[in-house]
């Protein structure tokens, strides 16, 4: 089946704005975007001999031209490998070797990241500027044609590398079928239409950048506003100026926006809701945005499935605080306890996922694929509970759990308690070695009003937590380290 979304929308809505760069104002309607993608596909096929299944690796900022590569992948069947430009040259070298690309597109500011890849030859690398020139020239001429290839649902669209706490990154295979069904699930739950305008500030090397809303918006013929670098003041102004109807942020970004001087001056009347993912959003922030007329939608997802797996309605944000809601439409889920059977209500269990939104596996890594997928069920590694109304709650990652005196401790439970203390702004708890108890908790803290004493915090924890869950150590920091999506970098702290 052909799945050329750009071709379809160039017929249905040729002059509709498809994607625009926030900085330069350069934009493409669906007709020009389709012609540009046609021209690039022709060049890659004829001049560089790329064929279906070949990998195209990209190192660059997420802009309108980068988005056009999705259309190229749908037309040709090549596999996009977006890499994290914040990695070291040594880390990039491993990912290049693992993905074995036929061609690399690199922005000049990131070219030095390829210095540790000795097997590269000059004709295997082209500049992002050269690629952009092809696209823009064809978009203006609007004459390029291309006969799109039929693609199977399980044919890869992306290889998305995920970092683990140990070992090398794993390349999750993200298929065209996953993208299609995730888009359908997302549009049903979030009521996406071709009238929606989405501001994207997420990076291209995470599934959130492509598949939380970018791909669904393109599937339904909406408009993308691309902001490659997050800047809180610029985001606030863009939400108002571009009449954005949907945006997606992680909690750290939401907090930064609410702390801007102009936060209460911005007209959010076009913004139907803000989608927040990555971790639970504190109630205080939900209430702040509600006061500005912006409902908060929360949910749960992961690179290997969906990524949009569950959704919590905005009206449930306070009543079911901390919940990730219900599974989306075409998703099967179950919680499996330590005995390997289905967990009961209020009983902790690992979330397993099944459906057309589950990855086919990890690239060149049969061992990890076999560990993760059992009879079609993907084992997420996340511990959840289900309440009496069927709402799901994330307890923690299995890999974050530590054992203290024979008792399982989930850091997220401890963190939620500490965050209720009025003086705490941020917290992250990790397990550290201990001679007597095997492991104990260490809490990294950021106070709202500068450094304070932690003695009263210990007493607060003892009052609200089981003794074995109370952190043994506390360390006050000015700021907690963040990863590329703005989430607290637990791996670094550990």
| DSSP per-residue string spanning 167-215 | SS-EEEEEEHHHHHHHHHHHHHHHT--TT-EEEE-S-TTSHIIIIITHH
Q: d(Cα 162, Cα 234) in Å, to the nearest integer?
A: 29
* Last residue within a domain, chosen from 249, 281, 297: 297
Q: Are residues 22 and 152 in the same domain?
A: yes
Determine which of 163-177, 184-198, 325-339, 355-369 has the lowest per-residue pLDDT on average: 163-177
Asked if residue 154 has pLDDT above 90, the reply is yes
Domain extent at residue 431: 402-476
Asked if residue 166 has pLDDT above 50, the reply is no
CB 430 within 8 A of CB 494: yes
Task: Classify residue 484: in a domain, yes or no.
Answer: no
| pLDDT given at position 452 | 66
Q: Report helix, strand or coil for 353.
A: strand
The angle at the Cα of 249, spanning 441 to 8, to the nearest 5 degrees, equals: 135
Query: What is the mean predicted confidence (pLDDT) over 348-363?
Result: 97
Q: d(Cα 135, Cα 138) in Å, to the nearest integer?
A: 5
Q: d(Cα 13, Cα 8) in Å, to the nearest integer?
A: 9
* Last residue within a domain, chosen from 297, 317, 340: 297
Distances (CA, A) of 154 to 73, 293, 309, 359, 483: 14, 41, 19, 9, 30
Beta-carbon contacts of 336 under 8 Å, excluding residues fewer than 6 positions away, are 342, 343, 349, 350, 352, 379
The closest alpha carbon to 244, from 275, 203, 265, 220, belongs to 275
H or E stretch at 19:
strand 17-21
- Rounded mean pLDDT of the chain? 92
Q: Residue 412 belongs to a domain with what CATH number?
A: 3.30.300.30
CB 356 within 8 A of CB 153: yes
What is the chain's percent helix, strand, coil content, to nearest 5?
Answer: 35, 30, 40
Backbone angles phi, psi at 105, to 5 degrees: -105, 120
Structural domain total, the chain: 2
Query: What is the mean predicted confidence (pLDDT) over 255-268?
Result: 94
Determine which of 36-45, 54-63, 389-398 has the lowest per-residue pLDDT on average: 389-398
* DSSP code string of 241-302: HTT-SEEEE-HHHHHHHHTSTTGGGS--TT--EEEE-SSPPPHHHHHHHHHTT--EEEEEEE
Q: Are residues 170 and 288 in the same domain?
A: yes
| pLDDT given at position 163 | 67
Asked if residue 165 has pLDDT above 50, the reply is no
> For the chain, first and last CA: distance in Å?
47
CB 291 within 8 A of CB 268: no
| pLDDT given at position 468 | 85
Task: Classify residue 494: in a domain, yes or no.
Answer: no
> pLDDT tens for residues 83-123?
999 888 888 999 999 999 999 999 999 999 999 887 777 77
Backbone angles phi, psi at 121, to 5 degrees: -120, 160
Asked if residue 478 has pLDDT above 60, the reply is yes
Query: What is the mean predicted confidence (pLDDT) over 1-17?
Result: 94
Query: What is the mean predicted confidence (pLDDT) over 126-137?
Result: 96
The angle at the Cα of 184, spanning 372 to 329, to the nearest 5 degrees, equals: 65
* Last residue within a domain, chosen from 263, 282, 297: 297
| pLDDT given at position 451 | 63
> pLDDT tens for residues 411-470?
888 898 898 888 888 899 999 988 878 889 999 999 887 666 677 788 888 888 878 899
Task: Classify residue 183: in a domain, yes or no.
Answer: yes
Q: d(Cα 156, Cα 415) in Å, to the nearest integer?
A: 38
Q: Are residues 72 and 202 in the same domain?
A: yes
Q: d(Cα 160, Cα 142) in Å, to the nearest integer?
A: 32
Q: d(Cα 354, Cα 379) in Å, to the nearest integer?
A: 9
Q: Are residues 290 and 439 in the same domain?
A: no
| pLDDT given at position 193 | 96
Q: Are residues 290 and 424 in the same domain?
A: no
Task: Classify residue 467: in a domain, yes or no.
Answer: yes
> Quick one: pLDDT band at residue 169, thresholds 50, 70, 90?
confident
Task: Classify residue 381: in a domain, yes or no.
Answer: no
| pLDDT given at position 403 | 81
| pLDDT given at position 437 | 83
Backbone angles phi, psi at 229, to 5 degrees: -120, 125
Q: Are residues 407 and 263 in the same domain?
A: no
Task: Classify residue 218: in a domain, yes or no.
Answer: yes
Task: Classify residue 108: in a domain, yes or no.
Answer: yes
Q: Report helix, strand or coil for 51.
A: coil
DSSP 494: -
Percentage of the chain modeled with pLDDT above 90: 71
> pLDDT tens for residues 47-69?
999 999 999 999 999 999 999 99
Residue 45 tokens read as: 């096929």
Q: Are residues 414 and 265 in the same domain?
A: no
Q: Are residues 406 and 264 in the same domain?
A: no
Beta-carbon contacts of 318 under 8 Å, excluding residues fewer than 6 positions away, are 283, 286, 287
Q: What is the distance of C-alpha 114 from the center of its chain?
A: 25
Task: Classify residue 382: in a domain, yes or no.
Answer: no
> pLDDT tens for residues 266-295?
999 999 999 998 777 888 899 999 999 999
């Amino acid at each position: 089946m052909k799945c050329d979304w750009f071709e379809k929308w160039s017929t249905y809505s040729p002059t509709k704005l498809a994607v625009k760069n926030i900085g330069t104002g350069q934009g493409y309607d669906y007709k020009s975007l389709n012609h540009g993608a046609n021209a690039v596909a022709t060049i890659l096929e004829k001049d560089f001999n790329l064929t279906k299944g070949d990998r195209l690796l990209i190192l660059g900022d997420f802009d309108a031209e980068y988005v056009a590569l999705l259309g190229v992948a749908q037309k040709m069947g090549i596999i996009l490998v977006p890499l994290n430009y914040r990695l070291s040259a040594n880390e990039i070298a491993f990912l290049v070797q693992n993905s074995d690309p036929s061609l690399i597109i690199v922005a000049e500011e990131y070219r030095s990241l390829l210095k540790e890849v000795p097997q590269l030859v000059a004709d295997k690398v082209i500049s992002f500027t050269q690629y952009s020139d092809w696209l823009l020239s064809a978009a203006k001429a609007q004459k390029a044609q291309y006969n799109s290839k039929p693609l199977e649902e399980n044919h890869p669209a992306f290889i998305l590398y995920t970092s683990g706490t140990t070992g090398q990154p794993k390349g999750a295979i993200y298929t065209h079928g996953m993208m299609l069904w995730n888009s359908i699930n997302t549009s049903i739950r979030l009521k996406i239409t071709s009238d929606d305008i989405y501001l994207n500030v997420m990076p291209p090397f995470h599934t959130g950048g492509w598949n939380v809303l970018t791909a669904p918006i393109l599937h339904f013929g909406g408009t993308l506003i691309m902001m490659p670098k997050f800047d809180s003041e610029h985001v606030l102004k863009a939400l108002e100026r571009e009449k954005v109807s949907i945006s997606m942020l992680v909690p750290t970004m939401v907090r930064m926006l609410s702390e801007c001087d102009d936060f209460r001056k911005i007209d959010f009347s076009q913004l139907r809701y803000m989608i927040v993912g990555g971790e639970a959003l504190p109630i205080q922030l939900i209430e702040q945005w509600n006061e500005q007329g912006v409902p908060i939608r929360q949910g749960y997802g992961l690179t290997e499935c969906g990524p949009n797996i569950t959704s919590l309605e905005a009206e449930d944000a306070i009543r079911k605080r901390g919940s990730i809601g219900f599974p989306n439409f075409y998703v099967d889920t179950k919680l499996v306890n330590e005995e390997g059977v289905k967990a009961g209500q209020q009983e902790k269990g690992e979330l397993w996922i099944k459906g057309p939104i589950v990855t086919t596996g990890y690239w060149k890594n049969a061992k990890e694929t076999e560990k993760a997928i059992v009879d079609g069920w993907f084992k997420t590694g996340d511990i959840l509970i289900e309440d009496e109304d069927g709402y799901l709650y994330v307890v923690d990652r299995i890999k974050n759990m530590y054992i203290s005196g024979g008792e399982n401790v989930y850091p997220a439970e401890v963190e939620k308690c500490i965050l209720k203390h009025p003086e705490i702004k941020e917290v992250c708890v990790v397990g550290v070695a201990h001679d007597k108890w095997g492991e104990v908790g260490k809490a990294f803290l950021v106070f709202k009003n500068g450094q304070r004493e932690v003695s009263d915090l210990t007493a607060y924890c003892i009052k609200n937590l089981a003794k074995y869950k109370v952190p043994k150590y506390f360390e006050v920091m000015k700021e907690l380290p963040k990863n590329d999506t703005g989430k607290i970098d637990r791996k670094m702290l550990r």
